[in-house]
Amino acid sequence: MDYSDREAETIARRFVERRKLAKSSEMRLLKVARLHVAVATLTREEHKERAIDAGVAFQRLVDGVPVDGPGGKLIVYLDAKREVLGFDRTWRELDRPQRRVDELRRVEDALHDVEVRWRGREGTVAIDQVRFGYFEHGPRVEQRILQPAYVFLMTLSSRDSRIHRRTVYVAPAATNHIGQITPALRPKVRQPVRQTSRSRAD
């Protein structure tokens, strides 16, 4: 592919505007990713790698505030000839505001939600990053309200620090928020101890 990321963005923006998928003021460039393929001989004497298409991802903005989460994304796919292959859009239509945000919670108050969620569980929880914005779920989750949120990117570690797992917790950012965004953890169900039964021959 002999065109730059900037040129890929320009082509994608023109496509979005022509199809009226979003207004330019409602989005910003998130990233340009390229799909690479490689061919090599069994002896690895020859190796060729090339990009076969590009994905231009835009992030949604609501009144200038970014929309975080798996939703709020618009991706336009281009081939090596600068032609649009298709697009992927998770961008829910907005109705009139349900209520005004009275005030934003402090980050420390939202962090308390994280502490309560993992209280009593073994291991450690490390906060890697905190982001603010609206939060939109992916296409498989029903969502009626788009509201401000704090997004905590975290790493969970086992008590012996041998197992690490990345996870995300989303806390409502408005003092007058509507419900929770990340559902509560289900309590662990203790499995009954299986007892081996002896045969009559024993």
Total number of domains constituting the chain: 2
Task: Please check whether residue 57 lies inside any domain of the structure.
Answer: yes
Question: pLDDT band at 121, cuts 50/70/90?
Answer: confident
Based on the domain organization, do 138 and 164 belong to the same domain? Answer: yes
How deeply is 8 buried, as exposed, middle or buried, from its count of CB atoms within 10 A (0-12, 13-18, 19+)? Answer: buried
pLDDT tens digit string along 17-60? 999 999 999 999 999 998 877 777 676 666 777 677 899 999 99
Q: Which domain, by its residues, includes 123?
A: 107-172
Q: Match 């393929």 to its residue by tokens.
A: 37
Specify whether the CB–CB gap between 53 and 34 falls below 8 A.
yes
- Is 192's pLDDT higher than 90? no
- 149 or 159, which is more confident? 149
What's the Cα-to-Cα distance from 153 to each of 82, 132, 168, rounded to whole Å? 35, 11, 5
